Structure 1
Amino acid sequence: MSHLEPKGPIRVFLAVCDAGSFAKAADGLALSASAVAKTVARLEARLKVRLFDRTTRRLSLTPEGRTYQQACARAMGDIARVEASLAQAVATPSGTLRVSLPPLFGTEVIAPALHALCDRHPALNVDISLDTERIDLMARGVDLAVRIGELPDVAGLTARRLGLQEVVLCGAASYLARHGEPATQADLAAHALITTTHRGQPVPWQLLGDDGRVVPWSPASRISTDSTLLTLAAVRAGRGLGLLPRWLVQGDLAAGRLRVLMTGPGPGPGLERIAGHLPVHALWLSAPVMLPRLRVAIDAVVAAVAAVLAVPAVDTIVSKAP
């Protein structure tokens, strides 16, 4: 039995101190007076000091017993306060939640939802960082991460698929009025193309044929960027055609400033469509109990992503055992 359990030695000792006798303490603990006396005797034997002076008429603390009582009372008070604090933390979202997000999608879509979450829960704080790389959640102290693209097989993580980010080929209406709309890969050779790089390497476009096969293609371009926002600015300015997330250009499409190209079958066989659907996942460390701050954050992220992306018909949650 632990010393701190309801009928453990320390609690029995403090009960005797409060009651002033073994018999009265026994009544409050639902033990026999003999059991209480034996528990105190074992505690004294372990400490190698006498805690009580015993006579036939009275029980009084020794100086060592009084010192031990004060220390035990302080410790029990500290434990009670910590237990109350933990109980409150389990009941309501509180404390600091550390989140890692992809830069653009995180800034535009998810961070506002987390800010609103703090408004609803005054005891909750969020610490947000931006990153696209694979992350060791435990080593970095991250509670929740969102990543775009296929996930590596990492043990100890739970992953929830949030939706699909569709990447589309876009051109400004002004540019298309001058150069026309491409329908096939061959048509793209006559257009100014805006490409992207990652870590200095070109990111290939994915072309989809009528037979369903996807073929990567790295087109030549005069403008190349490592930023989706730079690509968007160049496309809006009529500098050429570029790949952009549909959610990011939804307003431009609705207003007619941009148009989506090569989304359907072309006039003949070949690589005639742009294929681009990247899965978006929320990741967190697998644990038997989920703290309220993490639970409400996941709910907020799910709702924010559902507002801008195609959501899977069935939520997929995959947990990898450590």
Structure 2
Amino acid sequence: MDTRFDGIAEFVAVTRLGSFTAVAAELGVTKSAVGRAVSRLEDRLGSKLLHRTTRRLTLTPAGEAWLEHCLAALDELDRGESALLLARDAPGGEVRIDLPTAFGRLHIMPVLLKIAERYPALNLKVSFTDRRVDLIGENIDLSVRIGNLEDSTDLLARQIGVQHMVIVGAAGYLARRGVPRSWADLTAHDCIVGRRQGNRIAWLMKQPDGSTSRQAVPVKHELQDFETVLMAVKAGHGLTQLPSWMVQDDVRLGALKIVLDGLSGGDLPINVLWPRTKTLPAKVRVTIDGLVQWALGLSSAVA
């Protein structure tokens, strides 16, 4: 066990108050306990720090030199404690955040930039990945993830939305090829699919009992990037299944139309996650609060 700090508090207090009795009263211990603590310190250092007489205590030359180092160390500890308290109570410093690629760029980054504008002392460090990151192992303050979460005693989560999958096509494409009314109708259509982690992404279909199953579709184009999939669909090359948060603006403007509405499945929660800590730093707290407030302010759940 490291005993380098044993006796230092008693020694510094004795030099400040001038007697073992006064130190004992301040620290709530016995006079003899104070004396033993200082004696153990002297034995460990191999130097006498105090001259003791019946009338007073005075520092030896070694004691004067040691006191200077002790005061410098205590001052540094005080500065460190103040910095920690400031980090806990005042939003500032680096916030390490990991976001899903497309959703993070389109929806979360604008919110983070508004939070950073509100708290100028924040420094954002944002990465974009679609894998499950290890927040603790990779030293990440918080992340946003789409999907069902595994049970964890090390993480906390707050749901900020729901992702719902829809099937869409451009108005011009649907005028040429017709509007599908059932999954069977897709055999007569060009379907554009994405890939994730090397695997082709199947479309998700709702079953009569409310469950969701994967549905194979005839593939015309297979594209790695979802934003490129969206580009191809808007250009009239076929139908695709994408999250509604990705296509909602184009649907509202009429560039895309939803088909097979009610048959497309795959609702998934959108959560913000952060490591469980006894005291949440202010920089993380205001970032989480900002994301939650953004989600609550939406006219409907993020989908």
| TM-score (structure 2 length as normaliser) | 0.87
- 2:7 is equivalent to residue 18 of structure 1: no
Partner of 1:261: 259
Deviation at 1:90, TM superposition (A): 1.4
User: TM-score, length-normalised on structure 1?
Assistant: 0.82
Q: Secondary structure at the match of 2:195?
A: strand
Of residues 160, 163, 166, the one that matches 2:164 is 166
Tell me the matched-pair count.
301
- Is residue 126 of structure 2 the alignment partner of residue 135 of structure 1? no
1:17–1:217: structure 2 CA closer, same or farther, 3 Å change rule? same
Distance 1:26 1:155 in 2: 43
8 Å contact 2:189–2:218 — kept in the other structure? Answer: no
Aligned residues of 1:4 and 1:11 also touching (Cα < 8 A): no
Q: Deviations over 1:221-247 (max 9, x none)?
A: 221112111111111111111112212
One-letter identity of the residue aligned with 2:98: S
1:310 paired to 2:301: yes
1:3/1:10 contact within 8 Å kept: no
Supply the AA of the counterpart residue of 1:310: A
| Structural RMSD (CA) | 2.9
Structure 1 residue ranges without an equivalent (≥5): 265-272, 313-322
Report if the CA contact (8 A) 1:236-1:258 is conserved.
Answer: yes
Deviates more, 1:153-162 or 1:135-144: 153-162
1:102-151 deviation per Cα after TM superposition (whole angstroms, max 9, x unaligned) = 00101111122222222222322221111111221121111211111223
Which residue number in structure 2 is paired with residue 242 of structure 1?
240
Deviation per residue, 1:15-45 (Å, 9 max, x gap) = 3323455566667667787665555344334
- Match of 2:222, SS? strand
CA distance in 2, matches of 1:35, 1:150: 57
Distance 2:106 2:201 in 1: 22
- The one-character-per-residue Cα deviations of 1:190-209 (angstroms, maximum 9, x if unpaired) are 22111112233211112224
- Structure 2 CA distance, aligned partners of 1:63 and 1:34? 24
Distance 1:37 1:212, change over 3 A: closer
Aligned residues of 1:12 and 1:25 also touching (Cα < 8 A): yes
2:275 to 285, 295, 303: 285
Corresponding letter in the other structure for 2:267: H
Determine the structure 1 residue equivalent to 2:142. 144
Determine helix, strand or coil for the equivalent of 1:105: helix
**Deviation for aligned residue 1:69:** 0.6
Q: Which residue type is aligned with residue 140 of structure 1?
A: E
Question: 2:221: which partner in 1?
Answer: 223
Tell me by how many angstroms 1:159 deviates. Answer: 2.7
Which of 276, 279, 292 does residue 266 from structure 2 map onto?
276
Q: Cα 1:135–1:71, aligned 2, differ >3 Å: closer, same or farther?
A: same
| Structure 2 SS opposite 1:290 | coil
Q: CA deviation at 1:263?
A: 0.9
The residue correspondences of 1:171-182 to structure 2 (distance < 5 A) are 171-182=169-180
Which moved further from structure 2: 66-75 or 56-65? 56-65
Identity in percent: 38
Deviation at 1:154, TM superposition (A): 4.3
In 1, Cα distance between equivalents of 2:209 and 2:17: 86
Query: Against the structure 1 CA distance between its residues 206 and 17, is the aligned structure 2 distance closer, same or farther, given a 3 Å change threshold?
Result: same
Q: Which amino acid aligns with 1:192?
A: D
Q: How does 1:1-322 map to 2 (within 5 A)?
A: 9-20=7-18, 22=20, 37=35, 39-55=37-53, 58-264=56-262, 273-306=263-296, 307=298, 310=301
Preserved contact between residue 100 and residue 128 of structure 1 (Cα < 8 Å)? yes
1:110/1:305 contact within 8 Å kept: no
Shift in alpha-carbon separation, 1:166–1:24, aligned structure 2, 3 A = closer
Query: Is residue 203–residue 218 contact of structure 1 (8 Å, CA) maintained in 2?
Result: no
Does the 8 A contact of 1:165 with 1:309 survive in 2?
A: no
Structure 1 residues 211 and 53: CA distance shift in structure 2, 3 A:
closer
Q: How far did residue 46 of structure 1 move?
A: 4.2
* Counterpart-to-counterpart distance in 2, 1:262 and 1:83: 60
Alignment check: 8 A CA contact 1:109 1:305 kept? no
SS of aligned partner of 2:48: coil
Q: Residues 242-262 of structure 1: CA distance to partner in whole angstroms, max 9, x if unpaired?
A: 112212222221221211111
Please tell me whether the aligned partners of residues 189 and 239 of structure 2 are also in contact (alpha carbons under 8 angstroms): yes
Which residue identity lines up with residue 119 of structure 2 in the other structure?
A: H
